[in-house]
């Protein structure tokens, strides 16, 4: 599991030579910067000089000044420049850094950068080729633009939360992860790459505007066209789906769970062979018949899965070419040979926090793979180098800025 990536990013990395200023907090915009960093972009984390990014304190603390495992994992591949953007001197340093950068990632509430004199007009005047990624709860336009945005709110507003849960229960958060933050970060990274590609032709930068709720809404398959065409409002469907049967989660004899997917008549036929239930195939060969008798079909599958231990059930289904997979805990994932073979878990060492296991890089590129070169940085790690090498500040100037609380280099 020890990382084959740790070390120096190769010059052949796809984004080598691209510099990113990560001025966001928590997850959404910083995650976009992380994705770019894994493929060669240099990322400088801009954070509050007093307390740093609040993500440092979110989750399980480590021995490294309280930095959490969440920070060490998600703030990977960065240096840290604590810089107070609210002070005029701090804002000017940021504008100077923009002249030496390609991308700025931020997820403040719309209007915040403008109040600090760091809006698009000011930044693009200093660097016409700049790409500015702006992630917010509801986007930079519209009547809700000023509302605060969080993943839980975005998942609710975007339509996903209404779909999650049992039919007779309340809507639930789909998992404990900040899904909207991560999906918005991915869309943000795509937007940045598109803007960089276009800049190759025009030489001009642009703004990439991502709303947290939009990244969720975009993932909801036929929800929008179905409502527009038929007025159908899909509700919570529990462990299955109204669009296919049997297609859901089923218990096993050892009180575990598997997911079975039958999205076609052919897949259902394979399942009936594995179940040794030709009578089911005779009665419910076609999807409309199965959907009309959902309860009976799902009960038959449940009786079958409850009669087998999970491992045996998975082997039987695999032999019969039935789409069936385990519903894994994180402990299952750590023990799985497929996860190991794909390098989905990587272990890196920090002198204070010790060995830390983090998710690997996605996607896999055949010639120029991504890399994890470091865990989330200690506060101010690399700050002096950035200020001297990029901005040519002297030791006295740095000391003066530090004494004024504009920066932190310790």
Query: Which positions are catalytic?
Result: 181
3-state DSSP assignment of residue 65 = coil
DSSP H or E run through 148: none
Q: Classify 209 as helix, strand or coil.
A: strand
Q: Are 326 and 310 in contact (CB under 8 A)?
A: yes
DSSP 8-state secondary structure symbol assigned to residue 55 = G
End-to-end CA distance of the chain: 32
* Residue 183 three-state SS: helix
- Can you read off the two tokens belonging to residue 158? 């975007």
Q: Which two tokens stand for residue 343?
A: 């390098």
β pairing state of 42-47 and 19-22: parallel
Asked if 119 and 95 count as a contact pair (C-beta separation under 8 A), the reply is no
* Nearest residue to 130 via CA among 214, 245, 20: 20
User: Taking a C-beta distance cutoff of 8 angstroms, is the pair 160, 247 a contact?
Assistant: no
Closest CA to 18 of 159, 172, 158, 205: 205
| SS3 at position 193 | helix
Question: What is the pairing mode between strands 103-106 and 19-22?
Answer: parallel
Number of Cβ within 10 Å of residue 84's Cβ equals: 23
Neighbours of 15 (CB within 10 A): 23
d(CA 209, CA 192): 10
Residue whose C-alpha is closest to residue 98's, from 63, 122, 127, 78: 127
Task: In the chain, count H helices and then E strands.
Answer: 18, 11
Strands 324-326 and 345-350: unpaired
Q: Which of 177, 169, 211 is nearest to 29 (CA)?
A: 211
Cis, peptide link before residue 332, omega less than 30° from 0: no
């Amino acid at each position: 599991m020890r990382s084959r990536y740790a070390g120096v990013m190769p010059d052949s990395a796809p984004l080598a030579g691209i510099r990113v200023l990560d001025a966001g907090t928590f997850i959404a915009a910083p995650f976009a910067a992380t994705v770019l960093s894994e493929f060669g972009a240099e990322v400088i984390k801009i954070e509050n000089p007093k307390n740093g990014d609040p993500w440092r304190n979110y989750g399980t603390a480590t021995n490294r000044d309280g930095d959490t495992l969440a920070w060490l994992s998600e703030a990977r591949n960065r240096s840290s420049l604590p810089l107070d953007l609210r002070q005029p001197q701090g804002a000017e340093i940021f504008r100077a850094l923009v002249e030496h950068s390609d991308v700025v990632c931020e997820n403040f509430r719309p209007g915040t950068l403008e109040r600090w004199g760091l809006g698009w007009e000011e930044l693009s005047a200093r660097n016409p080729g700049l790409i500015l990624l702006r992630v917010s709860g509801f986007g930079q336009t519209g009547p809700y633009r000023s509302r605060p945005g969080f993943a839980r709110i975005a998942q609710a507003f975007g339509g996903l939360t209404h779909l999650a849960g049992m039919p007779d229960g309340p809507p639930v958060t789909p998992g404990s992860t900040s899904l909207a933050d991560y999906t918005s970060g991915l869309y943000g990274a795509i937007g940045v790459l598109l803007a960089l590609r276009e800049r190759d032709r025009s030489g001009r930068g642009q703004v990439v505007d991502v709303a947290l709720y939009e990244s969720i809404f975009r993932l909801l398959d036929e929800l929008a066209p179905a409502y527009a065409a038929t007025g159908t409002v899909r509700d919570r469907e529990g462990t299955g789906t109204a669009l296919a049967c049997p297609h859901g989660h089923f218990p096993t004899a050892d009180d575990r769970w598997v997911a079975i997917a039958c999205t076609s008549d052919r897949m259902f036929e394979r399942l009936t062979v594995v179940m040794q239930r030709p009578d089911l195939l005779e009665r419910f060969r076609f999807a409309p018949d199965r959907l009309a008798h959902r309860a009976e079909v799902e009960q038959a599958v449940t009786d079958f899965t409850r009669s087998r231990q999970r491992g045996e059930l998975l082997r039987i289904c695999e032999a019969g070419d039935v789409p069936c997979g385990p519903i894994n805990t994180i402990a299952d994932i750590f023990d799985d040979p497929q996860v190991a073979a794909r390098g989905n878990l990587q272990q890196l060492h920090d002198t204070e926090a010790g060995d830390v296991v983090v998710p690997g890089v996605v996607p896999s590129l055949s010639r120029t793979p991504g890399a994890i070169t470091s865990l989330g940085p200690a506060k101010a790690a690399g700050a002096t180098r950035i200020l001297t090498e990029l901005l040519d500040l002297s030791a006295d100037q740095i000391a003066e800025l530090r004494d004024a609380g504009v920066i932190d280099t310790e």
